């Protein structure tokens, strides 16, 4: 497989790996990356497994979290980096949590966006409304039907994404990058690999300086997991709550997010 990454900013700047979520690609960082460059940071935004046309394996096991973490390690190795600051949104945050928990020597600092620590997420499924919010994870396990709906030319996909807070511009980008480019099935593969995840590897405690950024208008991720996350970080930890913001924090609040990333990176040195 061949993955694509956008390497930008000062070549000698502190490296920041940016990991996108579903249903977006590396372009989801387009409003954040220039702000990090202005602070002297180098960004490497990875177009992850299942999204690049040259890296779309068909089997579900190919999208296990261990494989996704391995892709980030391969990225660091290819870039000649012993470690980097790691930032992830949505599914990218899940990969970032796993990387920091299992390979702390490769992570200078962690900024997780929207998705809480995996163990906190699982706990929240029992003690909060998170199970109801996560109904779509079960739906995505079905064969073919999710692809048919998410790639439909009708109004259903646009309405669903708008209900989650996406703007018209973001929905148009989704159609171009996910639907037209054929990335929907690969993105769904991440969800379909969940039954094959190693619980121990996916929920490892984190021992690197960490900031968790969450927004109170996130329809998919509730306060329960956000408040539980601190329990699973054995290092300097900060929690930033953004008020009135939907799930799409990098698009809606790039300035606040960039400031949080820079503050975490500087304090981790």
Q: Which entry of 14, 90, 218, 251 is annotated as an active-site residue?
A: 90
Count of C-beta atoms within a 10 Å radius of residue 156: 11
Q: Which entry of 191, 218, 232, 251 is annotated as an active-site residue?
A: 191
* Strand-strand pairing, 84-89 and 41-47: unpaired
Note if 247 is an active site residue: yes
Helices (H) and strands (E) in the chain, counts: 14, 7
Note if 103 is an active site residue: no
Distance CA 117, CA 63 (A): 19
Buried b (16+ CB within 10 A) or exposed e, 49-68: bbbbeebbeeebebbbbebb
Cα 9 off chain centre by? 21
Q: Indicate left, alpha or beta for 40 from its phi (over 0: left) and psi (-120 to 50: alpha).
A: left
Note if 174 is an active site residue: no
Residues with catalytic function: 90, 191, 247
């Amino acid at each position: 497989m061949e993955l694509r990454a956008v390497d930008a900013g000062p070549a000698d700047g502190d490296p920041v790996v940016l990991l996108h979520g579903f249903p977006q690609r590396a372009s989801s960082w387009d409003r954040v990356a220039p702000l990090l460059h202005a602070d002297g940071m180098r960004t490497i935004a990875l177009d992850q497994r299942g999204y690049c046309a040259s890296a779309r394996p068909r089997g579900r096991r190919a999208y296990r979290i261990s494989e996704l973490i391995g892709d980030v390690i391969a990225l660091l190795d290819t870039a000649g980096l012993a470690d980097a600051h790691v930032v992830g949104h949505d599914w990218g945050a899940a990969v970032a949590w796993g990387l920091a928990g299992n390979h702390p020597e490769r992570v200078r600092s962690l900024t997780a966006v929207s998705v809480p620590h995996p163990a906190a997420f699982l706990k929240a499924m029992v003690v909060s409304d998170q199970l109801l919010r996560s109904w779509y994870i079960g739906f995505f396990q079905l064969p073919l039907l999710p692809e048919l709906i998410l790639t439909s030319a009708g109004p259903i996909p646009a309405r669903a994404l708008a209900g989650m807070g996406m703007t018209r511009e973001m929905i148009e980008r989704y159609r171009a990058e996910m639907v037209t480019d054929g990335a929907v099935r690969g993105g769904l593969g991440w969800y379909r690999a969940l039954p094959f995840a190693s619980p121990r590897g996916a929920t490892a405690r984190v021992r690197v300086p960490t900031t968790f950024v969450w927004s109170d208008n996130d329809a998919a991720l509730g306060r329960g997991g956000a408040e539980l996350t601190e329990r699973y970080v054995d290092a300097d930890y900060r929690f930033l709550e953004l008020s009135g913001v939907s799930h799409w924090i990098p698009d809606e609040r790039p300035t606040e997010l960039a400031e949080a990333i820079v503050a975490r990176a500087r304090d981790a040195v």
